[in-house]
Structure 1
Amino acid sequence: MIRIEALPARDGDCLWVEWEHEGRTRRMLVDGGRGRAAARRIEALSIDDRHVDLVVCTHIDADHIEGILDLFAQPPAGFTAGEVWFNGQRHLRDDVTGPRQGSRLELILGRAGVPWNARFGNGAVAVAEDGPLPVKQLPGLTVTLLAPGPAELSSLDRAWPDVLAELDDPLQGRRGPDPDAGVDLAALVDRLSTPDESAANGSSIAFLAEHADGGRVLFTADAPAAPLLAGLRRLAPDGAPVPVALCKVPHHGSHHNVSTALVAALDCPNWLLSTSGAGHGHPDRRAIARIVAGSPGATLWFNYASGTTAEYAEPGAHGYHAVHPAPGHEGIALEVENGRVTEVPL
């Protein structure tokens, strides 16, 4: 059984993952969102039980990395991490000679002495251009890496100075009124979307986690559809949909990242959306339309009841089911076991 808590991290991702192995609770943190959601979750544990087996910082966007920076810069008492997966500037290309500027997280991890990308030989967490996908064994959990690849890391390398500048821009990515407001979801499925071309999003670490009981969860971070599809097709070269019990919807439900082809590549009845909708207005109605059209009877799990998610409480003729946090609460916790997903107390 895999337990996933989509913690309230405003517009970002902060996913707390637990599973049992040999009588012990194992833990993974995927991103830190904004604020101190990750640190608070660790502080809720007994001080002598604050070990996290793996911390994954999927990419350098502020709504994913901010809480990780806080966690390692000012760690809760007793906090330890078995390993960190994070692609810093040093991992973006192999032919670099001479000094290069590192990010703040690179500096912090270097000082902390935490094992960093150790399962990847201290190199980039990335898939090769061909051959089998990397498969890494955690105690009781199998992790198959789907993205990023060399092209995505090279793109981030070229854009690194601009990406760093964007992290401090509070208006970056903000949008105006939703052009799809009021349009029936069925009419939005085939409305065109330009692909996400953000170098930072393209570098997202995306992976499939599988527990021994058969529970399978797809963690997509902010990855665009193209590298996710490439990874899924390598996982299932016969073109059959890849069965997963739960998919964390890429980029908080942006229509630039959720394509009809991506939804069709998955046999997935449950879709988790992590966002308050602040600033960027996620999830996009086109993304929701593609999910519910391509996954009939799907359940949409939201970690916020907000202005951008409330409308989905009433499925109408579209046949999906939506679950929001209880009134007055934020965040949602799910258990994935034998292909089934159920809500549990947070």
Structure 2
Amino acid sequence: MKRTRTEFIVLKAFNGDCILVKTFTSEQEEFIVLVDGGTASTFDRYLKHELKEIKKIDLLVLTHIDSDHIGGLLRLFNNSLINKLDVVEIWINYPNLINVNLSGQIGFDQANKLKDLILQKKGNVVFKEITTAERFINRSGVSFTILSPTQKILDLLYERWNFGKNELDVDIDIASEVNNYTVSLEELSKLPFKPDKTVEQDLVNASSISFIISCPDKTLLLLGDSRSEIIEQELKKLGYNEESPLFCDYVKVSHHGSKNNTSEYLLKLLKTTNYIISTNGGSSKTKHPSRDVIGKIIFNPLRELNKLLFIFVNYPISEIKDRIGNFITENDIESGNWKIEHKNKF
């Protein structure tokens, strides 16, 4: 199928991620990238319908092993729809001992391993472990620049894996977040970046595959649930700095807008007017997006204030407010030259 325009969909994935990119090669052949699958319910309600008209997934990326990213993929490979799909390549990082049950919780028992399930259905698929050791990857004119994980982080993740018990010797829970509704976004933007955990205490997210995808007509930065400290480090290695930032048409904000994953310095290394936050408001334990992050995006001191900035959310704003309260007010919109909109298709 011929294509001359890149389109992508940020599916409703509850508190997770599921992004379907439809782009094209240098020969204008359609090239489909699926990044994560959200929860199991994401597949049932949304992803299944999007895939019915697709015959081939050129690249499937599982960014990391959290249930809100992997659950929908497990459901996909348990569904008859997978038999009609040609899956060419999968990027995936784990030591082949993980199982995620369909209730949406991460399990580490030995049954129904995802990799084994994929091989049962797609025995010819190409598996690729992804780190910054192989920085640049090109697939027929669609280019990827890998920003995380580093080989060091992935090695540490594997070292912490308890092979005897088939579980991970790290805390996979993320500290709960409470939005501050009484302080203005501009004031919040001035608060220093202080994540609740160190990178080594947050290895699951720190091992997230994140990358720049350079399509013939668009550049997207997809950050998964990556750690800001790692992305900053890798962008600087690539020569980006405050005077020469990375230009992107769209940035998918890390970890659903958590204050633990987006620093003011990272935002100084990026140049865009379009940020995307994927969340329905979060779980009962963790509320997203953080007003701190929204404030830092809007009042980034290096931003060109004469250009209207957009923050897109993949759920209706009213639904997010029902879960986490009035996280954006009319007063917030009055300064900073920005808008927040619900949008799924780009």
TM range (shorter): 0.7 to 0.9
Structure-2 residue corresponding to 1:339? none
1:34-79 CA-to-partner distances (Å, cap 9, x unmatched) read 12434643544556x4211100000001111111111123241412
CA separation in 1, counterparts of 2:290 and 2:166? 23
CA contact (8 A) 1:163 1:200 kept: no
1:2-21 map, 5 Å: 2-21=6-25
Task: State the AA in 1 paired with 2:252.
Answer: K
Aligned to 1:190: 190
Which sections of structure 1, spanning at least 5 residues, go unmatched?
A: 92-99, 326-331, 335-346
Shift of 1:181: 2.2
The correspondence of residues 275-294 of structure 1 with structure 2, limited to 5 A, is 275-279=279-283, 280-294=286-300
Matched residue count: 306
Cα contact 1:313–1:322 (8 A) shared by 2: no
Amino acid at match of 2:59: L
For normalisation by structure 1, the TM-score amounts to 0.79
Quote the offset at 1:166 in angstroms.
Answer: 9.7
DSSP 3-state at the match of 2:299: helix
Q: 1 CA distance for matches of 2:250 and 2:257?
A: 14
Q: Percent identity?
A: 26
Structure 2 equivalent of residue 316 of structure 1: 334
Distance 2:245 2:261 in 1: 18
Task: Name the amino acid aligned to 1:82.
Answer: V
CA distance change for structure 1 residues 55 and 283 in 2, over 3 Å: closer, same or farther?
same
Which AA in structure 1 matches 2:208? S
- Structure 1, 155-164 or 257-266: larger mean CA deviation: 155-164
Aligned to 1:115: 125
Distance 1:168 1:252 in 2: 19
Q: Which amino acid aligns with 1:299?
A: F
Structure 2 CA distance for aligned equivalents of residues 137 and 246 of structure 1: 20
Whole-angstrom distance in 1 between the partners of 2:334 and 2:184: 10
Which SS does the other structure have where 1:333 is aligned? Answer: coil
CA deviation map 1:123-176 (0-9, x unaligned):
x31012xxxx6211223411111111122112312333499469999xx44736
Equivalent residue number for residue 309 of structure 2: 298
- Aligned residues of 1:86 and 1:116 also touching (Cα < 8 A): no
Name the counterpart of 2:345: 333
**Residue 106 (str. 1) matches residue 115 (str. 2):** yes
Instruction: Tell me which of 204, 207, 232 is aligned to 1:229.
Output: 232
In structure 2, the partner of 1:136 is: 137
- How big is the shift at 1:217? 0.4
Aligned 8 A contact 1:2 1:18 in 2? yes
**Contact 1:58/1:206 (CA < 8 Å) preserved in 2?**
yes
Which runs of 5 or more structure 2 residues have no equivalent in the other structure?
A: 98-108
Q: Return the alpha-carbon distance in structure 2 between the equivalents of residues 109 and 268 of structure 1.
A: 37
Query: In the TM superposition, what is the alpha-carbon distance from 1:320 to its structure 2 partner?
Result: 1.2
SS of the counterpart of 2:296? helix
> Could you state the TM-score of these two structures normalised by the residue count of structure 2?
0.79
Measure the CA separation in 2 of the matches of 1:253 and 1:103: 32
| Cα gap change, 1:109 to 1:135, in 2 (>3 Å) | same
CA RMSD of superposed structures (Å): 3.0
Displacement of 1:238 after TM fit?
6.0
Give 1:184-223 correspondences, 5 Å limit. 184-192=184-192, 193-194=194-195, 196=197, 197=199, 198-213=202-217, 215-223=218-226
Give the 3-state SS of the residue equivalent to 1:194 in structure 2: coil
Alpha carbons 2:160, 2:169 under 8 Å: kept: no
**Distance (whole Å) between structure 2 residues aligned to residue 149 and residue 81 of structure 1:** 26
Separation of aligned partners in 1, 2:175 and 2:138: 39
Q: Distance in 2 between matches of 1:290 and 1:25?
A: 36
1:333 Cα deviation (Å)?
A: 0.6
Q: Which moved more, 1:68-77 or 1:263-272?
A: 68-77
Distance 2:256 2:166 in 1: 19
Shift of the alpha carbon at 1:116? 3.5
Amino acid at match of 1:56: V
Q: Cα deviations across residues 208-259 of structure 1 (Å, max 9, x unaligned)?
A: 011123x110010000001111221122256621111110000110111100
Against the structure 1 CA distance between its residues 164 and 34, is the aligned structure 2 distance closer, same or farther, given a 3 Å change threshold?
A: farther
| Alignment deviations for residues 280-317 of structure 1 (CA, whole Å, 9 cap, x no partner) | 21111111111111144321010012114864474121
Name the aligned partner's letter for residue 138 of structure 1. R
Q: Which residue pairs with 2:155 in the alignment?
A: 154
Partner of 2:102: none
Shift of 1:182: 2.0
What amino acid maps onto 1:105 in structure 2?
L
Structure 2 counterpart SS, 1:318: coil
Does the 8 A contact of 2:24 with 2:142 survive in 1? no
Secondary structure of 1:223 counterpart: coil
Q: Is this contact kept in 1: 2:62–2:92, CA < 8 A? A: yes
Are 1:248 and 2:252 counterparts? yes
8 A Cα contact 2:146 2:212, kept in partner: yes
**Equivalent position SS for 2:147:** strand
